[in-house]
Structure 1
Amino acid sequence: MKLKSVDMPPAIQQHAVECAFQLLKNMDCKLNCKLIAWQLKKEFDKIHGPAWHCIVGTSFGSYVTHSVGGFIYFAVGKVSILLFRTAIEVVDKK
């Protein structure tokens, strides 16, 4: 695992990396980046609250804005994972 960039508390970083390793380990023979991204996003929405976004692939570019403490970019072998959170604005429904 190679950590490329991070703005996230250590415990949440560890959760992201452990989840990614488990998901990659459970892939049969063919890498399904879209499925891994979806599963990581759902896990983080459930455990750490909504508005997580995830990009997984072997080659991609990105330029994103994230909430403070909600960003990690790392690689597991040739697979890069970008997981980040954005702010949610509550709309008053009056």
Structure 2
Amino acid sequence: MPGRIHSREFKLDIMNQVNGGQKTTAQLCREHALSPGLIHRWRKEVEVHGEAAFTDQAKPDPSLEQRLAELERFCGQLSLENTILKKSLATYRSRPGTK
């Protein structure tokens, strides 16, 4: 049913029932009018975020995302410089009279 908002406790209760083997996904879908895809998304959320699932802590911090992007750019720059230096060294070594 679109538009319903479920509490964190409800979601965790559903996950505990599924993971504990108390009920199947299909049983819970029928009992609570949920879609299997929704339960699957909740399960992935719990797998990825553990105790922080379904809280504001589960959302990535924008400053950390920005820092990660900066580090990825820096890593790319270093990789490019490394490639250039390797090619330069190979060219230098291939010249006659150098070792």
TM-score (norm. length: structure 1)? 0.26
More helix by share: 2
More strand by share: 1
